[in-house]
Structure 1
Amino acid sequence: MNNPSSIWQHHWQLCWQSSKPYRLGQALTFVLFLLFYMLYTLPFFQVEQPELVLIFFIRFLLEASVFVILSHFLLRPPLKIHYQRGFSLSALLQLSGWLCLAALLLATVSTFASYLPALSKTDMQQITLVQKDSIEGLQMQFTLTTLMIMMWLMYLSLFLFWSLIYLGWQMLQSRKALQQEMQQARLQQLTNQLSPHFLFNTLNSIRALIFEDQHKAADTLTQLSELFRVHLQAHLRPTSSLQEEWQLCQTYLHIEQIRLEQRLQLSVQIDDSLLQQPLPTLMLLTMLENAIKHGISPNPEPGFIELIARRQKSHWQLSLRNSVGAQSNQSSTGTGLNNCRKRLQLMHGDKARIELEQSSTFFHLTLELPYATHPDR
């Protein structure tokens, strides 16, 4: 994009691309410009001529509109282009040229606006400054050239101030985008850590089942292939909906049900209004894995798992409670739970929390998450 035609094409495209915060900022610029000049010209108003207020208001509406248009179409594209590419001496010279051109155009509009019949009373070449101790006031006259130079310098400073504010906003947006990218990368890294952890546990389950019932082991492998088909698609995203997570877990639970049979008693209560709520990918699966690995598998007697998802005002809760009996032969490394904590912290900060409750007969894990009014899909 170094040839002139490509640069102009990019410049033109940027003119029609803007975010909502930027548009709101330009609306605020319009209002502030209008208020500033209305207050600035108050000393020049005669008390016995209140109609001048309305005439000057119309004039400043015109100037504020031209200021916003010029800042958007002339200044914003090169500022954004050079910000993305980096500033050099030639870039600074180009931006200086755009600033001077924008100020000259607005100074021309401002100076010759009084040539319009409706705005003739706003002629700034002859100004009466009202003074309390003077009946006639202080008369000041300016030549057209002097007035143009004054207007140009004034608008040049305003456009320069606008440009600095815009560049500062761009820096803030870039920093925010970089933080979001780093957060997404960290979430993806933590999500990917669960893949070998999950595969190891599932293959151990199939290995144990081979010695008990080869037909069930074959069925389990079929279920495992289906599970990994879904899993390979799901783990590419750091977040999923509760519905997607539960669908993945159902396949996993079916595999474990084949191995554990009546030893696994499952109770599920999920509020339908929560199905689209975001959840870190594989988090629910990790919770169920740990419940089966440390609570159900080590015990010859039947055990239970209770899964409940319910809404609580501005939050919602995901609760998993499982029975505990004999001590598991596999010591817990805490990887899954630590992973869950880190991802919740990255996603929600202090707005999410994990509560643990443990006794000699059960283990209870509760996630409290902020309720998303409009979850991204």
Structure 2
Amino acid sequence: MSRLRDPQWCLILIFLGILVAVPLIQIVIEARQDDGIHAFELFNQPPTAAHLRAYERNLEAGNWAARATRPWIQFAQFAWLNDGGEKAAIGSAGWYFYKPGLSYMLARPENAITAGVTNDPVAAIVDFHDQLAARGIRLALLPVPNKESIYPDQLTSRAEPGRGVLAPRTREVLEKLRAANVEIIDLFQAFGDAREQAGANSQASLYLAQDTHWSPAGVALAAKTVARRLLELGWAQPGQVEYTEKPAPVQRLGDILRMMQVPRIERRIRPETVPCLQVVRRDDGDLYKDAPDAEILVLGDSFVRVYQTDEPKAAGFIAHLAKELKQPVLALVNDGGGSTLVRQELRGRPAFLKDKKVVLWEFVERDIGLGLEGWKRVPLPPPTPPSSLRLIHEGTSAPDHELRGR
């Protein structure tokens, strides 16, 4: 009894009680559900490193104590320690960065991807290029710079103001692709030049402060850069459709903040006002729409989708590219799947390649090392006979239920 009066022993007993109570309560909760007890799943899979890591992640994600305390702990880290958790890196002046993208930037070239052909972007891209060339279709590659590549000075004071950086792995991959005669439209140069020319002027940022994606200014510059290059190469000719723009500002809470999954943080921060410009036809004022019979097919991820099929619609990269080229294009989008998933989706949609002269393939820089499903070689769909072509596409991208968030 004397030991029970000792504060040290009391603390030890409380600590041991918590250690025992948490898993017991978890087992009771799971026993009442239909999914079974997750702790026993360890014995259902071979004891490989991948299975053990997945098992550990599932235990952490499903634990009742973790779910109850995690939002409070994350909010305390955010408010007191300026820590955004696993997904967010907090910069200066209200800027946020996607931490996995930052990790890619800091990785050594040899460690940026897993060894193996599946994760080799060069082999997959060159293979896709060669398949298209065999059908007389040209490929233009559009790697979109990571936000931290263009705005490192918003992340750390050690970076030179107004100067971007190029990750070693990105430089290596781009050099190999150029050596393989793959056409690369260089947004790193275009965005870097725009920042340097802006100097101290209050020019609109090319990326959203709270988001991983580009701003309307970044969209417009990317569209102008791509259109100019396609026209210079003679791969596209100016069309006959005149488009104009109309203001369509929206309020947007950045995806980086939403990825934290802490409602208290979301309520604390005011959404950004995004000055979008919708693209409309000059003759009838209708919003831009894709054309299934267009000569240019755009494959891409959420950078192609943002502002285009979500708010305010017809204000994204696709619409602005069409405005610059004076002709509609056709787009196939897979959120987070710019490396492999969008090509797998194209494999199941042979009509999308019918009568195409150019495929513009967009993906974000971090996918070079972090792309979903790696970088697989994906065969093109079989050619579509003229008699079987159907107009199966409306709007500007794959249906929303097919998009994958990131």
The question of a shared fold, defined as TM-score above 0.5 by the shorter chain, is answered with no
Pair member with larger Rg:
1
Instruction: Using CA pairs under 8 Å that are at least 6 residues apart, name the structure with larger relative contact order, 1 or 2.
Output: 2
Name the structure where helix makes up a greater proportion of residues.
1
